[in-house]
Amino acid sequence: MAIHPIEYRYGTPEMKSIWETENKLQRKLDVESALAQAEGKLGIIPQEVADEIAAKANTKYVKLERVDEIEAQTKHDIAALVKAIGEVCDNDAGEYVHFGATSNDVVDSSNSLLLNDSIEVLKEKVERLTKIMLDLTKENIDKVCIGRTHGQHALPTTYGMKFGIWADELHRQYERLENAQKNVCVAMMDGAVGTTAALGEDGWKIHKEVANILGLPAATITNQVVQRDNHVEFISTLANIASTLDKIALEIRSLQRTELMELGEYFDPEKQVGSSTMPHKMNPITAERICGVARIVKSFVNAALDNNPLWHERDLTNSSCERIMFPESCILTDYILSLTIKLMSNLVFYDENIERNLNLTNGLIMAERLMAELTRSGMGKQTAYGIVRRNAIKANKEGGLLGELILEEEDVQKYLTPEDVEKIMNPHTYIGSSKTIINELLEQSKEWFK
């Protein structure tokens, strides 16, 4: 019976397959195979023994059910793994399995393989989402809308600016993910306290050769574990990505509110139901799910931080936490990335409402421009600010047009004509350098994923 929503509701097949129990077992077997191969190459164990261990270190031979059966008796997962491999090896090859290693050599190295596979999936989706944002940026470079600060109408901006900001942020998240991958995905084969003592003078060579076989960088120095500041960086990066997706989805939700309705997620009127009791509802459920799941991903940061300080060369407090944290954080981050790709690929724009909201305040959003143009025409800046502010407050209270009220000021008439004011009050022509900014961003983006 399924219990956790990841089992039946959340997650993608590609990421779940990485963290399925049988694949996790295979990754541990890959480490044991690499150890045997390295030891065979350096003559620490007979080559035919190394070949036999490498051949049998596969779930075709080592069954998950048998490993679990042994672990139920030994109460030790890696000891159970070692015994299960030994049972399927011919002759006495099983005697050499895991020689010179400690359990966490296998655990941390196999986790690095799993995390590396997960990061490759995440990178592909961050890149795909970034490119979707860049397309939206280009398509909406001229779509002028109201910009809001503190929830209030501020100045005109464009949807190109909004999407461009998200594209730029997602690219930074991609770079953070690459950096975290470099630091967290390392192999180790260093023994009980990191000195490789059980492997003698060839211990450090074995450490590096195992990493080479696994296709990972070798950890620079360990005790019994890869130091968990690396894992803090990785989990923090996932939390940071989740915060970006949360930000994007929150904005979509806000813009889809009935009072605004500038854009929103696609709703299938033939099949989709918004409410079990209100037939009219078309709720932003995809965006809301992104925001909700993002909270779970972000919550893992404290756990990762607590896993860094361990007793002396190592204790076990990080282990149980990471069994939960690693798969859940990867699966859920991947899931909300996929949801955000779906959300942004199917956005619905309501252009009439965008224009309506742009003009909702009867010109108040052009107060800054009025002040600036009066100053450019020769009026003192502070004087201009005071005149515009006084008339803006009056327009706000009485519902008049700011452009008409400002022309009643004798001091303003000395500097601006009615034709000047008419031009000034057009919000579509007050978007500053936004096109230049966006075009530079689009040009830079050509180098992002090479």
pLDDT value of position 275: 62
What pLDDT does residue 175 have?
98
State how far the Cα of 52 lies from the Cα of 435, in Å rounded to an integer: 64
- Note whether residue 184 is domain-resident: yes
Q: How many residues in total does the chain contain?
A: 450
What is the average pLDDT across 372-388?
93
Q: Do 351 and 370 fall into the same domain?
A: no
Query: Has residue 238 been placed in a domain?
Result: yes
Contact indicator for 47, 64 with CB cutoff of 8 Å: no
CATH value at residue 32:
1.10.275.10
Count of other CB atoms within 10 angstroms of residue 410: 7
Residues 6+ apart with CB under 8 A from 256: 262, 263, 264, 265, 284, 287
Domain-embedded: residue 450: no
Q: Reply yes or no on whether the pLDDT at 279 is more than 80.
A: no
What separation in angstroms does the CA of 210 have from each of 25, 78, 110, 199, 223?
18, 18, 12, 13, 17
Q: Please check whether residues 231 and 337 belong to one and the same domain.
A: yes
Tell whether 388 and 301 lie within a shared domain.
no
Of 56, 80, 96, which one is at a domain's C-terminal end? 96
Mean per-residue pLDDT for 73-96?
95
446 is a domain residue: no
Residue 158 backbone dihedrals phi, psi, to 5 degrees: -135, 155
Non-local CB neighbours of 165 within 8 Å, separated by 6+ positions: none
Given the DSSP bridges, would you call strands 263-264 and 348-349 parallel, antiparallel or unpaired?
A: antiparallel
pLDDT tier at 277 (50, 70, 90 boundaries)? Answer: low
> Is 78 in the same domain as 113?
no
Q: What is the DSSP string of 6-68?
A: HHHTS--HHHHHHHSHHHHHHHHHHHHHHHHHHHHHTTSS-HHHHHHHHHH-STTTS-HHHHH
Interval 239-263: pLDDT, tens: 999 999 999 999 999 999 999 999 9
298 and 192 within one domain: yes
Q: Within a domain: residue 410?
A: yes
Residue 375 lies in a domain: yes
CA max distance for the chain: 105
Contact at 8 Å (CB) between 39 and 206? yes
* Number of domains making up the chain: 3
pLDDT-derived band at 281 (thresholds 50, 70, 90) equals: low
- For residue 133, count CB atoms less than 10 angstroms from its CB and return exposed for 0-12, middle for 13-18, buried for 19 or more: buried
Tens digits of residue pLDDT in 94-142? 999 999 999 999 999 999 999 999 999 999 999 999 999 999 999 999 9
pLDDT value of residue 278: 73
Residue 410: both structure tokens together: 């004798």
Task: State the pLDDT at residue 252.
Answer: 96
Nearest to 199 by CA among 71, 36, 309, 63: 36
Catalytic residues: 150, 275
Checking if the pLDDT of 216 tops 90, the result is yes
Domain, as residue range, for 164 = 103-147+154-357
Residues 372 and 390 grouped into a single domain: yes
Q: Are residues 60 and 159 in the same domain?
A: no
Checking if the pLDDT of 195 tops 70, the result is: yes
The confidence score (pLDDT) of residue 127 equals 98
Residue 1 domain flag = no
State whether 379 and 279 are in the same domain. no
Q: What are phi and psi of 68, to 5 degrees?
A: -65, -40
* 211 shares its domain with 236: yes
Average pLDDT over residues 51-68: 97
Q: What is the pLDDT of residue 1?
A: 84
Q: Are residues 42 and 190 located together in one domain of the fold?
A: no
- Residue 90: count of CB within 10 angstroms of its CB: 11
Same domain, 273 and 312: yes
User: Is there a contact between 371 and 381 (Cβ–Cβ < 8 Å)?
Assistant: yes
Same domain, 329 and 346: yes
Residue 152 has pLDDT above 90, yes or no: yes
**Residue 449 belongs to a domain:** no
pLDDT in tens, 37-54: 999 999 999 999 999 999
Q: What residue spans of 146-278 are helical by DSSP H? A: 159-184, 203-214, 229-255
d(CA 216, CA 400): 68
